[in-house]
Amino acid sequence: MKNLTHLFWAILLLAFPTTALADHYDQYYQNLPCPMSKPTLPTIPDNKVSLTDFGGIGDGVTLNTEAFSKAMNALDKQGGGHLNVPAGIWLTGPFSFKNNVDLHLEKNAIILFSADKRLYLNIDKATGKILGKSKPALNASKRKNISITGSGIIDGNGKWWRPVKRSKVSDTEWSQFKAMGGTETDEGKLWFPYNLKNYKNVTNSPEKEEKLRADLVRFTECENILIQGVTFQNSPRFHVHPVRCKNLVVDGITILCPWNAQNGDGLDLSNCQNSLIVNNTVNVGDDGICMKGGVGQAGIEAGPCENILIENNTVYHAHGGFVIGSDVSGGMKNIVVRNNRFCGTDIGLRFKSSIERGGKTENIFISNIYMTDIIGEAISFETTYADKGYSVSKDEKGKTAEPVKAPFAPDFGNIHISNIVCHGTESGIVAHGAKGMVHDVVIENSTIFYTKKATDIDAACDVKLNKVNLLTY
**pLDDT digit string, tens, across residues 106-158:** 999 999 999 999 999 998 888 888 888 899 999 999 999 999 999 999 999 99
Domain 48-156+210-472: CATH architecture, name and number where available: 3 Solenoid (2.160)
- What pLDDT, on the 0 to 100 scale, is given for residue 273? 98
Q: In whole angstroms, what is the distance from residue 209 CA to residue 195 CA?
A: 11
Q: In whole angstroms, what is the distance from residue 436 CA to residue 432 CA?
A: 11
**pLDDT digit string, tens, across residues 438-472:** 999 999 999 999 999 999 999 999 999 999 999 99
Is residue 425 within 8 A of residue 347, CB to CB? The reply is no
Q: How confident is the model at residue 14 (pLDDT cuts 50, 70, 90)?
A: very low
Q: In whole angstroms, what is the distance from residue 418 CA to residue 429 CA?
A: 13
Is residue 414 within 8 A of residue 361, CB to CB? The reply is yes
Q: Give, in order, the Cα–Cα distances in Å from 96 to each of 72, 135, 250, 287.
A: 8, 10, 19, 26
Closest CA to 246 of 321, 322, 146: 146
**pLDDT digit string, tens, across residues 161-199:** 999 999 999 999 999 999 999 999 999 999 999 999 999
Enumerate the domain spans of the chain. 48-156+210-472, 163-209
- In the three-class reduction of DSSP (H, G, I as helix; E, B as strand; rest coil), residue 324 is classed as strand
Q: Which pairing describes strands 164-165 and 314-315: parallel, antiparallel, or unpaired? A: unpaired
Average pLDDT of the chain is 92
Q: How confident is the model at residue 2 (pLDDT cuts 50, 70, 90)?
A: very low
Q: What contacts 24, CB < 8 A, 6 or more positions away? A: none
**pLDDT digit string, tens, across residues 29-81:** 999 999 999 999 999 999 999 999 999 999 999 999 999 999 999 999 999 99
Residue type, 216: L
Is residue 418 within 8 A of residue 444, CB to CB? The reply is yes
